[in-house]
Structure 1
Amino acid sequence: MILDTVFIEGLHTRAVIGVYEWEKEIWQDLVFDIEMEHDNRVPAMDDDLSKTLDYEAISNAIIEFCRTKQFELIETLAERLCAQLIEVFNLTTITMTLRKPGAVPAARAVGVKIRRTA
């Protein structure tokens, strides 16, 4: 099977996340890059949105997840979010880069990159 990539790059959202007590009381910036494998020939045949990965719906799901969940670790957020996206959007493979820009003042960003399959 040929699998193409549908991606979302530089998705900004905010979350309450961190291990320190002060972090549990503030909203912090997060930036996501997402790559999802998908056979794009299927939706391209009919020009049919319902047969593709709807990146707007996926983006909204990521933003909502971050606004309604609270974790100490970005590793936990990434794992749980990937699991939810795989389930809800019937993904076969997802690669997620999650950056927390303000975590280390001397660095532009720190974060994690994970790849998960269904």
Structure 2
Amino acid sequence: MDKVFVKGLRVDAYIGVYDWEHEQTQPLFLDLTMAWDQTAAGGSDALSDALDYDTLSKAVVALIQARPRQLIETVAAEVAQLILTEFNVASVTVRVEKPQAVAAANTVGVEITRSRA
């Protein structure tokens, strides 16, 4: 299966388990990899046949910024569900990094892969 990806999508979000983490936004960085058949788009050169990664990225940002969350695991699960249902991909891998979570680390994060049933 072909793939479409978005790397390093920055979303400023209210995220964390501590009260102070909900006083100001923190950056999250997402990598999204979607299984998507490129045959039609490659032949037609038409956006209507492609997975529109700009529209998809804007939907992901809107979802994350819609409400505060405690866990990046929740963010990953909700983003995967959105992409599977709204963009009709066969499968998606969502990687969420929270660079400010651990002072001694460059970043921490989670990665999940989900498929349509």
Q: Please indicate, yes or no, whether the TM-score normalized by the shorter chain is above 0.5.
A: yes
Residues 1:58 and 2:65 aligned together: no
How big is the shift at 1:62? Answer: 1.2
For structure 1, the 5+ residue unaligned runs are none
Q: Secondary structure at the match of 1:13?
A: strand
Q: Secondary structure at the match of 2:14?
A: strand
* TM-score, normalization by structure 2: 0.95
How big is the shift at 1:21? Answer: 0.8
How big is the shift at 1:69? Answer: 2.2
Instruction: Give CA deviations for 1:33-68 in whole Å, capped at 9, x if unaligned.
Output: 110001101111111111111010111111111211
| % same residue | 39
Matching residue within 90, 93, 98 for 1:92? 90
For structure 2, the 5+ residue unaligned runs are none
C-alpha RMSD of matched pairs (Å): 0.8
More strand by share: 1
Superposed counterparts of 1:1-118, under 5 Å: 3-118=1-116
* TM-score, normalization by structure 1: 0.94
